[in-house]
Amino acid sequence: MLDSRLALDTRVALRPEPFGALAYHYGNRKLIFLRHPDVVRVVRSLDGDRTLAQTLEDCEIDESRWPAFERALRALTESEMLHEQYLTTG
């Protein structure tokens, strides 16, 4: 997961909330709670170009917290809110 290059589906909206944010997928109507402002910050930073590990580093997330972020992002991937981008040659 740390090596994957993730990007937010264009049909997903993030709404800021006191606890973090709500993520809503207009396509499959799934709603997910992002339960920490740092998770929201990381999700907004995903660009499909850098790996997750690079993004976490850039967002200055302490490595001890990475497993929790992986869990949160896996839930988003399973709901098709995040997609893995594959590098094309060229």
**Which parts of this chain interact with another protein (CB under 8 A)?**
13, 15-19, 22, 24, 26, 29, 31, 33, 35
Residue 67: CB minimum distance to another protein, A = 18
Which residue in 36, 22, 28 sits closest to 80, CA to CA? 28
Residue 62: CB minimum distance to another protein, A = 20
User: Which backbone phi and psi does 22 adopt, to 5 degrees?
Assistant: -105, 135
Closer Cβ to another protein, 30 or 41, answer by number: 30
Residue 42: CB minimum distance to another protein, A = 18
Measured distance CA(51)–CA(42) in Å, rounded: 12
Closer Cβ to another protein, 35 or 50, answer by number: 35
Which residue in 61, 90, 86, 88 sits closest to 5, CA to CA? 86
